[in-house]
A = this chain, B = another copy of it.
Protein backbone atom coordinates (compact mmCIF):
# COMPACT_ATOMS: atom_id res chain seq x y z
CA UNK A 1 0.00 0.00 0.00
CA UNK A 2 1.16 3.52 -0.71
CA UNK A 3 0.47 6.39 1.70
CA UNK A 4 -2.80 7.28 0.01
CA UNK A 5 -4.06 3.71 0.22
CA UNK A 6 -3.01 3.47 3.84
CA UNK A 7 -4.87 6.64 4.72
CA UNK A 8 -7.88 5.31 2.86
CA UNK A 9 -7.78 2.12 4.90
CA UNK A 10 -7.38 4.05 8.14
CA UNK A 11 -10.31 6.32 7.31
CA UNK A 12 -12.59 3.42 6.43
CA UNK A 13 -11.69 1.69 9.67
CA UNK A 14 -12.32 4.81 11.76
CA UNK A 15 -15.68 5.30 10.09
CA UNK A 16 -16.72 1.75 10.90
CA UNK A 17 -15.62 2.16 14.52
CA UNK A 18 -17.53 5.44 14.82
CA UNK A 19 -20.71 4.01 13.28
CA UNK A 20 -20.56 1.06 15.67
CA UNK A 21 -19.72 3.18 18.73
CA UNK A 22 -22.65 5.46 18.02
CA UNK A 23 -24.86 2.42 17.66
CA UNK A 24 -23.78 1.37 21.14
CA UNK A 25 -24.60 4.96 22.11
CA UNK A 26 -28.18 4.51 20.96
CA UNK A 27 -28.48 1.18 22.79
CA UNK A 28 -27.40 2.95 26.00
CA UNK A 29 -29.49 6.07 25.48
CA UNK A 30 -32.56 3.92 24.89
CA UNK A 31 -31.77 1.89 28.00
CA UNK A 32 -31.76 5.06 30.12
CA UNK A 33 -34.86 6.63 28.56
CA UNK A 34 -37.43 4.31 27.02
CA UNK A 35 -36.45 0.64 27.23
CA UNK A 36 -38.91 -1.61 29.09
CA UNK A 37 -37.40 -2.97 32.32
CA UNK A 38 -37.56 -6.56 31.21
CA UNK A 39 -35.05 -6.03 28.43
CA UNK A 40 -32.00 -5.33 30.63
CA UNK A 41 -30.31 -8.67 30.12
CA UNK A 42 -30.79 -8.83 26.37
CA UNK A 43 -29.60 -5.25 26.04
CA UNK A 44 -26.41 -5.94 27.95
CA UNK A 45 -25.67 -8.81 25.56
CA UNK A 46 -26.12 -6.44 22.63
CA UNK A 47 -23.87 -3.83 24.17
CA UNK A 48 -21.20 -6.36 24.91
CA UNK A 49 -21.31 -7.71 21.33
CA UNK A 50 -21.04 -4.23 19.78
CA UNK A 51 -18.20 -3.25 22.09
CA UNK A 52 -16.31 -6.43 21.20
CA UNK A 53 -16.77 -5.62 17.50
CA UNK A 54 -15.33 -2.16 18.17
CA UNK A 55 -12.45 -3.61 20.19
CA UNK A 56 -11.61 -6.13 17.44
CA UNK A 57 -11.51 -3.37 14.83
CA UNK A 58 -9.52 -1.06 17.08
CA UNK A 59 -6.84 -3.54 18.06
CA UNK A 60 -6.34 -5.57 14.88
CA UNK A 61 -2.71 -6.15 13.89
CA UNK A 62 -3.31 -4.86 10.39
CA UNK A 63 -4.74 -1.55 11.61
CA UNK A 64 -1.94 -1.07 14.13
CA UNK A 65 0.71 -1.85 11.55
CA UNK A 66 -0.66 0.65 9.04
CA UNK A 67 -1.10 3.39 11.64
CA UNK A 68 2.44 2.74 12.95
CA UNK A 69 3.82 3.04 9.43
CA UNK A 70 1.91 6.24 8.76
CA UNK A 71 3.26 7.66 12.00
CA UNK A 72 6.77 7.42 10.56
CA UNK A 73 5.80 9.08 7.30
CA UNK A 74 6.02 12.76 6.72
CA UNK A 75 2.33 13.63 7.04
CA UNK A 76 1.18 17.21 7.44
CA UNK A 77 -1.43 19.11 9.44
CA UNK A 78 -4.60 17.35 10.60
CA UNK A 79 -3.57 14.06 9.00
CA UNK A 80 -0.44 13.94 11.10
CA UNK A 81 -2.40 14.76 14.26
CA UNK A 82 -5.09 12.22 13.46
CA UNK A 83 -2.49 9.48 13.12
CA UNK A 84 -0.87 10.52 16.43
CA UNK A 85 -4.21 10.33 18.25
CA UNK A 86 -5.07 7.04 16.64
CA UNK A 87 -1.69 5.63 17.59
CA UNK A 88 -2.25 6.71 21.19
CA UNK A 89 -5.70 5.13 21.35
CA UNK A 90 -4.78 1.89 19.60
CA UNK A 91 -1.67 1.43 21.70
CA UNK A 92 -3.72 1.87 24.83
CA UNK A 93 -6.41 -0.56 23.65
CA UNK A 94 -3.85 -3.16 22.56
CA UNK A 95 -2.16 -3.14 25.95
CA UNK A 96 -5.25 -4.70 27.51
CA UNK A 97 -5.64 -8.43 26.75
CA UNK A 98 -9.12 -9.34 25.50
CA UNK A 99 -9.54 -11.73 28.41
CA UNK A 100 -8.86 -8.93 30.85
CA UNK A 101 -11.33 -6.60 29.10
CA UNK A 102 -13.98 -9.28 29.27
CA UNK A 103 -13.26 -10.06 32.92
CA UNK A 104 -13.44 -6.39 33.86
CA UNK A 105 -16.63 -5.83 31.92
CA UNK A 106 -18.33 -8.72 33.73
CA UNK A 107 -17.07 -7.52 37.11
CA UNK A 108 -18.42 -4.04 36.37
CA UNK A 109 -21.79 -5.38 35.41
CA UNK A 110 -22.01 -7.24 38.74
CA UNK A 111 -20.61 -4.35 40.73
CA UNK A 112 -23.07 -1.82 39.28
CA UNK A 113 -25.99 -4.07 40.13
CA UNK A 114 -24.68 -4.60 43.62
CA UNK A 115 -24.02 -0.88 44.06
CA UNK A 116 -27.68 -0.19 43.27
CA UNK A 117 -28.84 -2.76 45.79
CA UNK A 118 -26.39 -1.66 48.50
CA UNK A 119 -27.28 1.99 47.96
CA UNK A 120 -30.98 1.18 48.25
CA UNK A 121 -30.36 -0.81 51.41
CA UNK A 122 -27.85 1.72 52.76
CA UNK A 123 -25.41 -1.12 53.38
CA UNK A 124 -21.81 -0.67 52.22
CA UNK A 125 -20.82 -4.16 53.32
CA UNK A 126 -22.85 -5.60 50.42
CA UNK A 127 -20.93 -3.50 47.93
CA UNK A 128 -17.50 -3.83 49.54
CA UNK A 129 -16.31 -7.13 47.97
CA UNK A 130 -17.44 -6.02 44.52
CA UNK A 131 -15.72 -2.68 44.83
CA UNK A 132 -12.59 -4.44 46.06
CA UNK A 133 -12.61 -6.54 42.89
CA UNK A 134 -13.01 -3.42 40.73
CA UNK A 135 -10.14 -1.69 42.51
CA UNK A 136 -7.94 -4.74 41.99
CA UNK A 137 -8.79 -4.89 38.31
CA UNK A 138 -8.16 -1.17 37.92
CA UNK A 139 -4.74 -1.56 39.51
CA UNK A 140 -4.12 -4.43 37.12
CA UNK A 141 -5.23 -2.25 34.23
CA UNK A 142 -2.83 0.50 35.31
CA UNK A 143 -0.01 -2.08 35.22
CA UNK A 144 -0.92 -3.13 31.68
CA UNK A 145 -1.00 0.49 30.50
CA UNK A 146 2.25 1.20 32.33
CA UNK A 147 2.64 4.98 32.00
CA UNK A 148 5.51 6.46 34.07
CA UNK A 149 5.00 7.58 37.67
CA UNK A 150 2.00 6.71 39.82
CA UNK A 151 -0.28 3.93 38.51
CA UNK A 152 -3.05 6.55 38.73
CA UNK A 153 -1.50 8.25 35.68
CA UNK A 154 -2.38 5.29 33.52
CA UNK A 155 -6.05 5.57 34.45
CA UNK A 156 -6.25 9.36 34.30
CA UNK A 157 -4.86 9.25 30.77
CA UNK A 158 -8.03 7.54 29.50
CA UNK A 159 -10.07 10.62 30.38
CA UNK A 160 -7.56 13.45 30.36
CA UNK A 161 -4.84 12.76 27.81
CA UNK A 162 -1.61 14.53 28.70
CA UNK A 163 -2.50 15.21 32.36
CA UNK A 164 -0.52 13.73 35.27
CA UNK A 165 -1.42 13.00 38.85
CA UNK A 166 1.40 15.23 40.13
CA UNK A 167 0.03 18.21 38.30
CA UNK A 168 -3.55 17.47 39.41
CA UNK A 169 -2.42 17.12 43.00
CA UNK A 170 -0.47 20.36 42.92
CA UNK A 171 -3.35 22.34 41.40
CA UNK A 172 -5.93 20.74 43.69
CA UNK A 173 -3.86 21.73 46.72
CA UNK A 174 -4.07 25.38 45.72
CA UNK A 175 -7.72 24.95 44.86
CA UNK A 176 -8.58 23.36 48.21
CA UNK A 177 -6.78 26.05 50.12
CA UNK A 178 -8.46 28.80 48.14
CA UNK A 179 -11.91 27.29 48.46
CA UNK A 180 -11.64 26.74 52.21
CA UNK A 181 -10.44 30.31 52.62
CA UNK A 182 -13.37 31.61 50.59
CA UNK A 183 -15.79 29.42 52.54
CA UNK A 184 -14.40 30.88 55.74
CA UNK A 185 -15.20 34.39 54.54
CA UNK A 186 -18.67 33.38 53.39
CA UNK A 187 -19.52 31.62 56.62
CA UNK A 188 -18.27 34.58 58.59
CA UNK A 189 -20.55 36.99 56.76
CA UNK A 190 -23.79 38.36 58.19
CA UNK A 191 -25.58 37.48 55.02
CA UNK A 192 -24.67 33.81 55.39
CA UNK A 193 -25.76 33.72 59.00
CA UNK A 194 -29.19 35.02 58.11
CA UNK A 195 -29.78 33.17 54.84
CA UNK A 196 -32.70 30.83 54.38
CA UNK A 197 -34.73 29.62 51.43
CA UNK A 198 -38.06 31.33 50.88
CA UNK A 199 -38.61 31.51 47.17
CA UNK A 200 -37.57 28.01 46.14
CA UNK A 201 -40.15 26.28 48.26
CA UNK A 202 -43.36 26.76 46.27
CA UNK A 203 -44.99 24.76 43.48
CA UNK A 204 -42.90 24.35 40.33
CA UNK A 205 -45.06 22.41 37.86
CA UNK A 206 -43.05 19.92 35.85
CA UNK A 207 -44.28 21.08 32.42
CA UNK A 208 -43.25 24.64 33.13
CA UNK A 209 -39.81 23.56 34.30
CA UNK A 210 -39.33 21.71 31.02
CA UNK A 211 -40.69 24.45 28.81
CA UNK A 212 -38.41 27.07 30.39
CA UNK A 213 -35.51 24.69 30.01
CA UNK A 214 -36.32 24.15 26.33
CA UNK A 215 -36.38 27.89 25.83
CA UNK A 216 -32.93 28.22 27.39
CA UNK A 217 -31.56 25.29 25.38
CA UNK A 218 -32.78 26.87 22.17
CA UNK A 219 -31.18 30.18 23.07
CA UNK A 220 -27.92 28.41 23.85
CA UNK A 221 -28.06 27.23 20.28
CA UNK A 222 -29.51 23.72 20.02
CA UNK A 223 -32.11 23.57 17.29
CA UNK A 224 -35.01 21.15 17.20
CA UNK A 225 -33.93 19.37 14.03
CA UNK A 226 -30.65 18.08 15.42
CA UNK A 227 -31.28 17.55 19.10
CA UNK A 228 -33.90 16.18 21.46
CA UNK A 229 -34.64 16.40 25.16
CA UNK A 230 -35.93 13.41 27.11
CA UNK A 231 -36.17 12.38 30.74
CA UNK A 232 -33.93 9.88 32.54
CA UNK A 233 -33.00 9.16 36.14
CA UNK A 234 -29.68 11.00 35.84
CA UNK A 235 -29.20 13.74 33.25
CA UNK A 236 -26.69 13.04 30.48
CA UNK A 237 -25.76 14.07 26.95
CA UNK A 238 -24.77 11.83 24.08
CA UNK A 239 -24.15 12.39 20.39
CA UNK A 240 -25.57 9.51 18.41
CA UNK A 241 -24.22 10.63 15.06
CA UNK A 242 -23.85 13.66 12.86
CA UNK A 243 -26.82 15.93 13.48
CA UNK A 244 -28.17 13.93 16.40
CA UNK A 245 -27.48 15.10 19.95
CA UNK A 246 -29.60 13.74 22.80
CA UNK A 247 -29.90 15.52 26.10
CA UNK A 248 -31.76 14.18 29.09
CA UNK A 249 -33.01 15.94 32.15
CA UNK A 250 -34.65 14.89 35.39
CA UNK A 251 -37.35 16.68 37.36
CA UNK A 252 -36.76 16.36 41.11
CA UNK A 253 -39.32 17.30 43.68
CA UNK A 254 -36.70 18.05 46.29
CA UNK A 255 -35.02 20.64 44.09
CA UNK A 256 -37.20 22.70 41.75
CA UNK A 257 -34.18 24.19 39.96
CA UNK A 258 -32.53 20.84 39.24
CA UNK A 259 -34.09 20.23 35.82
CA UNK A 260 -33.31 23.75 34.62
CA UNK A 261 -29.77 23.95 35.95
CA UNK A 262 -28.71 20.46 35.01
CA UNK A 263 -30.41 20.89 31.64
CA UNK A 264 -28.33 23.99 30.91
CA UNK A 265 -25.26 22.03 31.99
CA UNK A 266 -26.13 19.28 29.50
CA UNK A 267 -26.88 21.82 26.78
CA UNK A 268 -23.29 23.02 27.19
CA UNK A 269 -22.11 19.50 26.42
CA UNK A 270 -24.60 19.33 23.56
CA UNK A 271 -23.46 22.56 21.94
CA UNK A 272 -19.87 21.29 21.99
CA UNK A 273 -20.91 18.06 20.28
CA UNK A 274 -22.90 19.85 17.61
CA UNK A 275 -20.05 22.20 16.75
CA UNK A 276 -17.33 19.55 16.47
CA UNK A 277 -15.52 19.83 13.13
CA UNK A 278 -17.77 18.68 10.27
CA UNK A 279 -14.84 17.76 8.08
CA UNK A 280 -13.80 15.13 10.60
CA UNK A 281 -17.23 13.52 11.15
CA UNK A 282 -15.90 10.06 10.42
CA UNK A 283 -12.53 10.20 12.13
CA UNK A 284 -11.15 10.43 15.65
CA UNK A 285 -10.55 14.19 15.49
CA UNK A 286 -14.31 14.71 15.74
CA UNK A 287 -14.09 14.50 19.50
CA UNK A 288 -13.07 16.61 22.46
CA UNK A 289 -9.46 16.33 23.61
CA UNK A 290 -10.51 15.40 27.13
CA UNK A 291 -13.42 15.02 29.49
CA UNK A 292 -12.13 18.03 31.41
CA UNK A 293 -12.45 20.26 28.40
CA UNK A 294 -15.88 18.84 27.68
CA UNK A 295 -16.89 19.60 31.25
CA UNK A 296 -15.56 23.15 30.89
CA UNK A 297 -18.37 23.73 28.40
CA UNK A 298 -21.15 22.38 30.57
CA UNK A 299 -19.84 24.09 33.70
CA UNK A 300 -19.45 27.34 31.76
CA UNK A 301 -23.09 27.44 30.68
CA UNK A 302 -24.38 26.11 33.99
CA UNK A 303 -22.47 28.53 36.20
CA UNK A 304 -20.75 31.45 34.46
CA UNK A 305 -23.87 32.05 32.35
CA UNK A 306 -26.75 30.18 33.99
CA UNK A 307 -26.10 31.43 37.51
CA UNK A 308 -25.04 34.95 36.54
CA UNK A 309 -26.81 38.22 37.19
CA UNK A 310 -27.40 39.22 33.56
CA UNK A 311 -28.82 35.77 32.79
CA UNK A 312 -31.34 36.08 35.60
CA UNK A 313 -32.17 39.62 34.60
CA UNK A 314 -33.46 38.01 31.47
CA UNK A 315 -35.10 34.93 32.98
CA UNK A 316 -36.39 36.15 36.33
CA UNK A 317 -39.54 37.77 34.91
CA UNK A 318 -40.55 34.47 33.25
CA UNK A 319 -39.78 32.42 36.35
CA UNK A 320 -41.49 34.92 38.55
CA UNK A 321 -44.60 34.73 36.42
CA UNK A 322 -44.67 30.98 35.75
CA UNK A 323 -44.01 29.94 39.33
CA UNK A 324 -45.72 32.90 40.99
CA UNK A 325 -42.66 33.89 42.93
CA UNK A 326 -43.23 36.57 45.47
CA UNK A 327 -39.85 38.10 46.00
CA UNK A 328 -37.37 40.57 44.55
CA UNK A 329 -34.80 39.88 41.88
CA UNK A 330 -32.02 40.31 44.44
CA UNK A 331 -33.39 37.72 46.81
CA UNK A 332 -34.02 35.28 43.94
CA UNK A 333 -30.49 35.72 42.61
CA UNK A 334 -29.08 35.20 46.07
CA UNK A 335 -31.15 32.07 46.66
CA UNK A 336 -30.12 30.31 43.50
CA UNK A 337 -26.52 31.03 44.45
CA UNK A 338 -26.86 30.00 48.09
CA UNK A 339 -23.68 28.49 49.47
CA UNK A 340 -24.65 25.50 51.62
CA UNK A 341 -22.63 22.52 52.81
CA UNK A 342 -24.78 19.93 50.99
CA UNK A 343 -23.76 16.32 51.00
CA UNK A 344 -24.61 15.57 47.38
CA UNK A 345 -22.09 16.43 44.67
CA UNK A 346 -24.50 16.79 41.77
CA UNK A 347 -26.56 19.40 43.60
CA UNK A 348 -23.65 21.31 45.16
CA UNK A 349 -23.17 25.06 44.82
CA UNK A 350 -20.20 26.47 42.89
CA UNK A 351 -18.05 26.98 45.99
CA UNK A 352 -18.50 23.52 47.46
CA UNK A 353 -18.51 21.63 44.17
CA UNK A 354 -14.77 21.16 43.72
CA UNK A 355 -14.33 20.13 47.34
CA UNK A 356 -16.53 17.13 46.54
CA UNK A 357 -14.17 16.34 43.68
CA UNK A 358 -11.01 16.77 45.73
CA UNK A 359 -12.38 14.42 48.39
CA UNK A 360 -13.02 11.74 45.76
CA UNK A 361 -9.68 12.32 44.06
CA UNK A 362 -7.74 11.91 47.30
CA UNK A 363 -9.54 8.68 48.13
CA UNK A 364 -9.33 7.09 44.69
CA UNK A 365 -5.68 8.00 44.34
CA UNK A 366 -5.08 6.19 47.63
CA UNK A 367 -7.03 3.15 46.44
CA UNK A 368 -5.12 2.90 43.17
CA UNK A 369 -1.71 3.57 44.72
CA UNK A 370 -2.48 0.95 47.37
CA UNK A 371 -2.42 3.22 50.43
CA UNK A 372 -6.11 2.89 51.20
CA UNK A 373 -8.04 -0.30 51.76
CA UNK A 374 -11.62 -0.57 50.50
CA UNK A 375 -12.94 -1.53 53.93
CA UNK A 376 -11.76 1.79 55.40
CA UNK A 377 -13.48 3.89 52.74
CA UNK A 378 -16.68 4.79 54.62
CA UNK A 379 -14.77 6.06 57.62
CA UNK A 380 -12.26 7.99 55.52
CA UNK A 381 -15.08 9.47 53.45
CA UNK A 382 -16.96 10.66 56.50
CA UNK A 383 -13.84 12.10 58.11
CA UNK A 384 -13.03 14.05 54.97
CA UNK A 385 -16.60 15.30 54.78
CA UNK A 386 -16.26 16.74 58.24
CA UNK A 387 -12.84 18.18 57.44
CA UNK A 388 -13.99 19.90 54.23
CA UNK A 389 -17.71 20.50 54.75
CA UNK A 390 -18.18 20.40 58.47
CA UNK A 391 -20.98 17.85 58.07
CA UNK A 392 -21.08 14.06 57.86
CA UNK A 393 -23.45 12.08 55.64
CA UNK A 394 -26.46 10.46 57.31
CA UNK A 395 -25.49 7.07 55.89
CA UNK A 396 -23.18 5.45 53.32
CA UNK A 397 -25.75 5.85 50.53
CA UNK A 398 -25.36 9.60 50.88
CA UNK A 399 -21.67 9.13 51.52
CA UNK A 400 -19.26 6.73 49.95
CA UNK A 401 -21.93 5.15 47.73
CA UNK A 402 -23.26 8.46 46.45
CA UNK A 403 -21.83 8.22 42.92
CA UNK A 404 -21.90 5.37 40.43
CA UNK A 405 -18.40 6.09 39.05
CA UNK A 406 -16.41 3.66 41.17
CA UNK A 407 -18.93 0.89 40.59
CA UNK A 408 -18.34 1.51 36.88
CA UNK A 409 -14.59 1.29 37.43
CA UNK A 410 -14.14 4.90 36.37
CA UNK A 411 -11.07 5.71 38.47
CA UNK A 412 -9.38 8.86 37.20
CA UNK A 413 -12.63 10.35 36.01
CA UNK A 414 -13.55 12.61 38.94
CA UNK A 415 -10.66 15.11 38.56
CA UNK A 416 -11.98 16.06 35.12
CA UNK A 417 -14.99 17.72 36.77
CA UNK A 418 -12.73 20.12 38.66
CA UNK A 419 -10.38 20.66 35.72
CA UNK A 420 -13.44 21.58 33.67
CA UNK A 421 -14.57 24.04 36.32
CA UNK A 422 -11.18 25.74 36.29
CA UNK A 423 -11.09 25.92 32.49
CA UNK A 424 -14.60 27.34 32.44
CA UNK A 425 -13.51 30.36 34.47
CA UNK A 426 -10.51 30.90 32.21
CA UNK A 427 -12.78 30.82 29.18
CA UNK A 428 -15.21 33.25 30.78
CA UNK A 429 -12.47 35.72 31.61
CA UNK A 430 -11.13 35.59 28.10
CA UNK A 431 -14.57 35.87 26.53
CA UNK A 432 -15.41 38.97 28.55
CA UNK A 433 -12.23 40.60 27.31
CA UNK A 434 -12.75 39.68 23.68
CA UNK A 435 -16.49 40.18 23.29
CA UNK A 436 -17.58 43.70 24.17
CA UNK A 437 -21.12 44.17 25.42
CA UNK A 438 -21.33 40.53 26.51
CA UNK A 439 -23.38 41.12 29.63
CA UNK A 440 -25.82 43.37 27.80
CA UNK A 441 -26.40 40.58 25.29
CA UNK A 442 -26.97 38.02 28.02
CA UNK A 443 -29.50 40.35 29.64
CA UNK A 444 -31.42 40.22 26.37
CA UNK A 445 -31.25 36.42 26.22
CA UNK A 446 -28.96 36.70 23.23
CA UNK A 447 -26.09 34.21 23.45
CA UNK A 448 -25.11 34.30 19.79
CA UNK A 449 -21.72 35.93 20.26
CA UNK A 450 -20.78 33.54 23.07
CA UNK A 451 -21.84 30.63 20.93
CA UNK A 452 -19.77 31.88 18.00
CA UNK A 453 -16.70 32.49 20.13
CA UNK A 454 -16.88 29.02 21.69
CA UNK A 455 -17.44 27.39 18.33
CA UNK A 456 -14.44 29.14 16.81
CA UNK A 457 -11.98 28.89 19.69
CA UNK A 458 -12.92 25.55 21.28
CA UNK A 459 -15.50 23.37 19.57
CA UNK A 460 -14.28 23.51 16.00
CA UNK A 461 -10.78 22.41 17.04
CA UNK A 462 -12.04 18.92 17.80
CA UNK A 463 -9.23 16.78 19.09
CA UNK A 464 -6.44 18.43 17.13
CA UNK A 465 -4.80 19.68 20.35
CA UNK A 466 -4.48 18.37 23.89
CA UNK A 467 -6.86 20.09 26.31
CA UNK A 468 -4.35 22.33 28.00
CA UNK A 469 -2.74 23.34 24.70
CA UNK A 470 -6.14 24.21 23.33
CA UNK A 471 -6.88 26.43 26.33
CA UNK A 472 -3.46 28.00 25.96
CA UNK A 473 -4.17 28.79 22.33
CA UNK A 474 -7.65 30.13 23.08
CA UNK A 475 -6.94 32.04 26.29
CA UNK A 476 -3.22 32.70 26.31
CA UNK A 477 -2.28 30.42 29.19
CA UNK A 478 -2.72 26.85 30.42
CA UNK A 479 -4.55 25.55 33.49
CA UNK A 480 -4.71 28.33 36.07
CA UNK A 481 -6.52 27.73 39.35
CA UNK A 482 -6.17 31.33 40.41
CA UNK A 483 -8.47 32.60 37.69
CA UNK A 484 -11.16 30.26 38.95
CA UNK A 485 -10.60 31.34 42.55
CA UNK A 486 -10.69 35.01 41.52
CA UNK A 487 -13.97 34.45 39.75
CA UNK A 488 -15.51 32.77 42.79
CA UNK A 489 -14.14 35.38 45.22
CA UNK A 490 -15.52 38.23 43.17
CA UNK A 491 -18.94 36.69 42.66
CA UNK A 492 -19.48 35.42 46.17
CA UNK A 493 -17.85 38.44 47.75
CA UNK A 494 -20.58 40.48 46.18
CA UNK A 495 -23.37 38.09 47.15
CA UNK A 496 -22.19 37.67 50.73
CA UNK A 497 -21.07 41.29 50.97
CA UNK A 498 -17.62 40.79 52.39
CA UNK A 499 -15.59 42.51 49.69
A22 to B45, CA, bound (A): 11
A96 to B499, CA, bound (A): 78
Check B49 against A241 for contact (C-beta < 8 Å): no
Which residues does chain B contribute within 8 Å of A22, judged by CB atoms? 42, 46
Select A241's contact among B43, B50, B240, beta carbons within 8 Å: B43
Q: Which residues of A1-59 have CB atoms within 8 Å of chain B's CB atoms? A: 16, 19-20, 22-23, 26-27, 30, 34-39, 41-43, 45-46, 49-50, 53
Stretch at the interface among A223-231, A323-331, A360-368: A223-231
Which residues does chain B contribute within 8 Å of A50, judged by CB atoms? 23
A22 to B27, CA, bound (A): 10
Residue A243 is within 8 A (CB to CB) of chain B in the complex: yes
Residue of B nearest to A52 (CB): B16
Check B242 against A36 for contact (C-beta < 8 Å): no
Residue A441 is within 8 A (CB to CB) of chain B in the complex: no
A42 to B46, CA, bound (A): 20
Which residues does chain B contribute within 8 Å of A228, judged by CB atoms? 34, 36
Residue of B nearest to A245 (CB): B36
Which residues does chain B contribute within 8 Å of A37, judged by CB atoms? 225-226, 243
Residue of B nearest to A46 (CB): B19
The interface size bin for chain A is 20 to 34
Residue A244 is within 8 A (CB to CB) of chain B in the complex: yes
Check B42 against A243 for contact (C-beta < 8 Å): yes
Select A39's contact among B34, B224, B226, beta carbons within 8 Å: B226
A43 to B49, CA, bound (A): 19
Which residues does chain B contribute within 8 Å of A34, judged by CB atoms? 34, 228, 230
Residue of B nearest to A241 (CB): B42
- Mark contacts of A227-268 with chain B using CB atoms, 8 A cut-off: 1 yes-contact digit, 0 otherwise: 110100000000011111100000000000000000000000
Interface residues of A (CB under 8 A from B): 16, 19-20, 22-23, 26-27, 30, 34-39, 41-43, 45-46, 49-50, 53, 224-228, 230, 240-245
Q: Could you list some 28 contacts between A and B, CB below 8 A?
A: A20-B49, A22-B42, A22-B46, A23-B50, A26-B26, A26-B27, A26-B30, A34-B34, A36-B225, A36-B226, A36-B227, A36-B243, A36-B245, A37-B225, A37-B243, A38-B226, A38-B242, A38-B244, A39-B226, A39-B240, A39-B243, A39-B244, A41-B242, A41-B243, A42-B242, A42-B243, A43-B241, A53-B53
